[in-house]
Amino acid sequence: DGKTFNTETQDDYRRFEAECPGIYQTIASIRERLHADTALRDRIRKKYQIKNTVGYSVNALVDFEHPLDILAHLLVGAEGTLAFISETVMHTVPDYLFKSTSLLYFPDIFTACRAIVPLNDSGARAVELMDRASLYAIENMPNLPAVIRELPGNAAALLVEFQENTYIELEEKVNSFLQAVPALSLLHAPVFTSNPKEQEYFWKVRKGLFPSVGAVRVSGSTVILEDVAFPVEKLGDAILDLQGLFKKYEYNNAIIFGHARDGNIHFLITPEFNSPAEVTRYDYFMQEVVDVVVNKYDGALKAEHGTGRNMAPFVETEWGGEVYDLMKQIKYAVDPNNLLNPGVIINEDKNVHIKDIKLLPTVEHEVDKCIECGYCEHKCPSRNITTTPRRRIVIRRELKKMEIRGDKVNHKILSDQYQYDGMDTCAVDGLCATACPVDINTGELIKRLRRESHSPFANKTALLVAKNFGLMVWGARFALKAGSIMNKLFGRRTMSRITKGMKSLIPDMPLWTDQILAPPSLSVINKQINNTATEKIIYYPSCISRMLGSNVGDKKNLMEVFMSVSKKAGIEVEVPQNVFGSCCSQIFSSKGYSDANKYMANVFIDKMWEASKQGTYKIVIDVSSCAYSIKNMRYNLTDENKARFDKITILDCVDYLHDMVMPRQQAVNKRGSVMVHPVCSLQKMNTQDKFVQLANHYAEKVTVPKHAGCCGMAGDRGFGKEGSNR
């Protein structure tokens, strides 16, 4: 009913009783009943000896006294079916200073499970199980230890980590485990590492299991990830039973992995729900899983994930009628009209797990691999404006479903909305791909959709622009010059106002911003410096630098700074005359103009082949996003230019400054404090560390904003289109 209570405020305990007497009384009487019923109370305590998130957290009823405290703890894992949590204070687990990690290999999963108790006894903080099928799924991961590929067909692995606050404690624990090793039938002697890079890699292997299987599933199939727990000492037997069910129901690519230390494992299957027979197969399978988990092992059907709808029909099976009835009383007392997340956790429909199953239809290759995990969402610059990469994909799936159903009306409405939300506001920066476990770059999908939406006339116009690019740059320089004169004569906001006014008539009109200056001098072009130095590079000033590389006042422009820095480092630099009329082609690729993109990519390589003396000298690009585009333009080249491309070395300015300039230059006058923004291209090229090291070389204090993501400009698109630049 909209009331808010805070467990940190003493008065709210009294207020809760006064304002919500029905809820208060229901919870108080359930608690009293449990207090009097020792058998039921003990049953609840026993169930929580292993991880359990099935139904409501009824342990709150035996662990806490005041109804408000009980309700607050019932909310944990209640999936929004009881109330909305507006604020929490969390006790976090410690991150220990010293860690020792190993991958242990066993001949089979049962033997691996027998090692869990000795590992727990010796104090391992993490014991993660991986069956052979899951290890097959990550076999193509780069740098994977050969030993994993060579494991026998039934093998299994445990990722084990000891963590302590002192090195001595850590050693003691590892040694105590090593003493137990001779009895454990390991395939190879354990090797522990404290190297953070190796540890990170082991965890990457473990965390990559779920997405790897999800990504290689048959297109159109669904990913079902289950989460069950057993008493640790029975885990080996229970897993053999589950594997028997996979076989019986022919879920042949099922995998098992999970937190063996707690007896908690996940299994993943990829059923195709495209026929009633498939749905029935899944139903029978689930019924048998429930039987094994609940009746045979007294385990938990959910250990850390939510009950949801899939397990709702089985809450009563696991907890028994008496406890299930208590859960229903709680739900009814708090939400008598069943308004909050109806059907989740409490659901009388015993077939709800096979109803309204979410289908993942085959749409297109960029979309089909997506498992909708959402890892990409926090990276997306448009997430708070319109939508996210995951939702861009989900909407494509919805459109496909509408198309299959013949729902033309809604298809049209959603397609129209997708134009701005999905397409126009995507910066195509590809930051989503840096977080996606299956390497989906939603920006590439959007680029293709843009490409397909261009008319032949638009493509021809773009090609004409590409062919006359030199003229375009001069035109832009002229406009910038004229604009800055206007600002000088009539006030510095004049051009902003004029372009804003024109934008209402011409929607794609680029907006003038206060940071825009008159174009820089191009005096460095065709220049050569330090022509006796031992090291020589070719400097390619990007078209952005040629148009917008000015600095305020009479400070050197960007190209002059580049030359000056190189001179101090004693590096010979040549700036070729032939840069005019070329660019990295991002201006065309980001908008999906494929002919123009291809044309410009080939022009660039033609020119750089000549400038680099057939690949003899490295070419340095002064804008990282341009360097990234160039490094990725190979697919667009003719065969002849592909061969040339392979011989040319392209260096981004960050690589150049870090690898070639910094070692030759002492920082004489360090800056006090600087803040740096590692742009998306640096993140994609994985050179943000170099950028920060550079800054540290030349400044006393360097700050990198934690959430320094995309600048939102999407190449030059942000000048003309309102979207992620907002």
Please state, in angstroms and as integers, the Cα–Cα distance from residue 183 to each residue in 95, 109, 178, 189, following that order: 31, 16, 10, 12
Give the one residue of 77, 389, 510, 581 binding ligand SF4; rule: CB under 6 A: 389
Three-state SS letters, 576-628 = CHHHCCCCCCHHHHCCCCHHHHHHHHHHHHHHHHHHCCCCCCEEEECCHHHHH
Q: Does residue 429 interact with ligand SF4 by CB under 6 A?
A: yes
**Near ligand SF4 by CB under 6 A: residue from 236, 258, 306, 381:** 381
Structure token digits, residue 429: 């920066």
382 vs 602, which CB is nearer to ligand SF4? 382
Closest CB to ligand SF4: residue number: 443
DSSP state for residue 652 in the 8-state scheme: E
Task: Work out how close the CB of 425 gets to ligand SF4 at its nearest, in angstroms, rounded to a whole number.
Answer: 7
CB of residue 384 vs ligand SF4: minimum separation in angstroms? 11
Specify the length of the chain in residues: 726
79 neighbors 307 (Cβ within 8 angstroms): yes
Question: Which of 306, 430, 519, 715 forms a contact with ligand SF4 (CB under 6 A)?
Answer: 430
Stretch that binds ligand SF4, among 22-30, 243-251, 367-375, 582-590 (CB under 6 A): 367-375
- Interface pick for ligand SF4 out of 157, 428, 611, 626 (rule CB under 6 A): 428
Instruction: Examine residue 375 and tell whether it contacts ligand SF4 (CB under 6 A).
Output: yes
CB of 429 to ligand SF4, least distance (A): 4
Name the phi and psi angles at 618, rounded to 5: -70, 150
Region from 42-50, 424-432, 449-457, 611-619 binding ligand SF4, contact rule CB under 6 A: 424-432
Copy the structure tokens of residue 530: 């330090």
Among residues 109, 436, 473, 650, which is the contact residue for ligand SF4, using CB under 6 A? Answer: 436
* Residues near 364 by beta carbon (within 8 Å), at least 6 away in sequence: 396, 445
199 phi/psi in degrees, rounded to 5:
-60, -45
Q: Token pair of 376, please?
A: 């990409």
Contact call for residue 374 and ligand SF4 (CB under 6 A): yes
In whole angstroms, the minimum distance from the beta carbon of 389 to ligand SF4 comes to 4
The reply on whether position 390 binds ligand SF4 by CB under 6 A is yes
C-alpha pair distances (Å), 382 with each of 231, 387, 510, 709, 723: 45, 6, 20, 11, 8
In this structure, which amino acid lies at residue 72? A
CA atoms in the 13 A half-sphere facing the CB of 404: 12
Under rule CB under 6 A, residue 379 binds ligand SF4: yes
Pick 130 or 367: Cβ nearer ligand SF4: 367
Taking the CB of residue 590, how many other CB atoms lie within 10 A of it?
24
Stretch that binds ligand SF4, among 201-209, 365-373, 518-526, 654-662 (CB under 6 A): 365-373
Burial-class residue 638 by CB neighbours within 10 Å (0-12, 13-18, 19+): middle
129/440 with CB nearer ligand SF4: 440
Quick check: 592 binds ligand SF4 (CB under 6 A)? no
Beta carbon nearer to ligand SF4, 65 or 372? 372
The residue whose two tokens read 């009487």 is 29
The residue ranges of DSSP E strands in 37-91, in sequence order, are none
Contact status: 373 vs ligand SF4 (CB under 6 A): yes
* DSSP state, residue 261: G
Residue among 26, 53, 264, 442 that touches ligand SF4 (CB under 6 A): 442
Considering the complex, state which of residue 303 and residue 367 has its C-beta at the smaller distance from ligand SF4: 367
Residue span 324-363 as binding mask against ligand SF4, x where in contact by CB under 6 A, dash where not: ----------------------------------------
Cα distances from 670 to residues 47, 665, 695, 701, in angstroms, run: 62, 12, 10, 9
Number of other residues whose CB lies within 10 A of the CB of residue 481: 12
The yes or no reply on residue 426 touching ligand SF4 (CB under 6 A) is yes
Among 32, 233, 372, 514, binds ligand SF4 (CB under 6 A): 372
315: CB partners within 8 A, 6+ apart: 54, 55, 307, 324, 327, 345, 346
Cβ distance to ligand SF4 smaller for residue 393 or 559: 393
Question: What residues pair up with 164 in beta bridges, in sequence order?
Answer: 98
**Nearest distance from residue 715's CB to ligand SF4, in Å?**
12
Binding of ligand SF4 by 715 (CB under 6 A): no
Give the 3-state secondary structure percentages of the chain, helix then strand then coil, rounded to 5: 50, 10, 40
CB of 639 to ligand SF4, least distance (A): 30
Q: Which is nearer to ligand SF4, 446 or 626 (CB)?
A: 446
371 binds ligand SF4 (CB under 6 A): yes
Nearer to ligand SF4, 371 or 619 (CB): 371
225 is a contact residue toward ligand SF4 (CB under 6 A) = no
Amino acid at 635: Y
Report the residue from 380, 395, 569, 583 that binds ligand SF4 according to the rule CB under 6 A: 380
Instruction: Indicate the pairing of strand 572-574 with strand 618-621.
Output: unpaired
Query: Which residue in the set 74, 268, 326, 440 belongs to the binding site for ligand SF4 (CB under 6 A)?
Result: 440
Tokens representing 79? 């999936």
CA distance 302 to 654: 48
Q: Which is nearer to ligand SF4, 434 or 578 (CB)?
A: 434
Judged by CB under 6 A, the residue of 392, 397, 658, 684 near ligand SF4 is 392
In which order are the strands placed within the sheet that holds 224-229? 98-106, 156-164, 126-131, 255-259, 264-269, 224-229
Q: Which stretch binds ligand SF4 (CB under 6 A): 104-112, 186-194, 379-387, 554-562?
A: 379-387
* 149 vs 358 by CB, closer to ligand SF4: 358
Tell me the C-alpha distance between 211 and 214, whole Å.
5
Give how many residues touch ligand SF4 by CB under 6 A: 30
The residues with which 560 forms a beta bridge, in sequence order, are none
Query: Do 130 and 156 contact (CB within 8 A), yes or no?
Result: yes
List of residues contacting ligand SF4 (CB under 6 A): 370-376, 379-382, 389-390, 392-393, 426-432, 435-436, 438, 440, 442-443, 446, 724
